[in-house]
Structure 1
Amino acid sequence: MLESKEGQRVPDVTFKTRQNDEWVAVTSEEVFAGKTVVVFALPGAFTPTCSSTHLPRYNELAPVLFAEGVDAIVCLSVNDTFVMNAWSADQHAENITFLPDGNGEFSAGMGMLVDKAEIGFGKRSWRYSMLVKDSTIEKMFIEPNTPGDPFEVSDADTMLKHINSNANLPKRVTLFSKPGCPHCHRAKKILTEKKFKYEEILLGEHGVTFSSLSAVSGQGTTPQVFIDGEHIGTADDLEKWLASNS
Structure 2
Amino acid sequence: MAFESIDGKQVPKTSFKVYRDGGLVDLSYDDVFKGKRVVVFSLPGAYTPTCSSTHLPRYNELANAIKKEGVDEIYVLSVNDAFVMDAWIQDQNAEDIHVLPDGNGEFSKGIGLLVDKSDIGFGSRTWRYSMVVNDGVVEKSFIEPDKPGDPFEVSDADTMLKYLNPKAKAPEAIALFTRPGCPHCHRAKELLTEKGHKYNEIILGKDTSNQALFAITGQTKVPQIFINGELIGGRDKLEELYASK
Root-mean-square deviation (CA, aligned residues, Å) is 1.7
1:19 aligns with: 20
1:152 aligns with: 153
Contact 1:203 1:209 in 2 (8 A): yes
Tell me how far apart the structure 2 counterparts of residues 9 and 228 of structure 1 sit (CA, whole Å): 39
- Scaled by the length of structure 1, what TM-score is found? 0.92
* CA 4–184 in structure 1, closer or farther in 2 if over 3 Å, else same: same
1:191 aligns with: 192
Which residue identity is paired with 2:171? P
* CA 15–191 in structure 1, closer or farther in 2 if over 3 Å, else same: closer
Tell me how far apart the structure 1 counterparts of residues 179 and 200 of structure 2 sit (CA, whole Å): 13
Which residue identity is paired with 1:219? Q
Deviates more, 1:103-112 or 1:89-98: 89-98
2:173 aligns with: 172
* CA 218–41 in structure 1, closer or farther in 2 if over 3 Å, else same: same
Q: 1:123 offset after TM fit, Å?
A: 0.6
SS at the partner of 1:165? coil
Tell me how far apart the structure 2 counterparts of residues 118 and 76 of structure 1 sit (CA, whole Å): 22
2:31 aligns with: 30
Q: In the TM superposition, what are the counterparts of 1:33-52 in structure 2 within 5 Å?
A: 33-52=34-53
Q: 1:5 offset after TM fit, Å?
A: 0.7
1:186-216 per-position Cα deviation (integer Å, ceiling 9, x unaligned): 322332333322111112224x223322232
SS at the partner of 1:220? coil
Q: In the TM superposition, what are the counterparts of 1:228-239 in structure 2 within 5 Å?
A: 228-239=228-239
> Does residue 143 of structure 2 align to residue 142 of structure 1?
yes
1:16-36 per-position Cα deviation (integer Å, ceiling 9, x unaligned): 333323443333233212110
2:225 aligns with: 225
Contact 2:18 2:99 in 1 (8 A): no
Q: 1:222 offset after TM fit, Å?
A: 1.9
Tell me how far apart the structure 1 counterparts of residues 41 and 171 of structure 2 sit (CA, whole Å): 20
Structure 2: runs of 5 or more not aligned: none
Tell me how far apart the structure 1 counterparts of residues 222 and 197 of structure 2 sit (CA, whole Å): 19
How many equivalent residue pairs?
244
Contact 1:10 1:28 in 2 (8 A): no
Which residue identity is paired with 1:198? Y
Which residue identity is paired with 1:211? Q
Contact 1:116 1:124 in 2 (8 A): yes
1:242 aligns with: 242
1:18-76 per-position Cα deviation (integer Å, ceiling 9, x unaligned): 33234433332332121101000000112122122211221221112222110111110
Tell me how far apart the structure 1 counterparts of residues 182 and 22 of structure 2 sit (CA, whole Å): 40
* CA 188–22 in structure 1, closer or farther in 2 if over 3 Å, else same: closer
1:206-243 per-position Cα deviation (integer Å, ceiling 9, x unaligned): 4x223322232233332211111121111121122112
1:133 aligns with: 134
1:156-184 per-position Cα deviation (integer Å, ceiling 9, x unaligned): 11101000011232221110122333332
1:59 aligns with: 60
- Scaled by the length of structure 2, what TM-score is found? 0.92
* CA 209–79 in structure 1, closer or farther in 2 if over 3 Å, else same: same
Contact 2:16 2:101 in 1 (8 A): yes
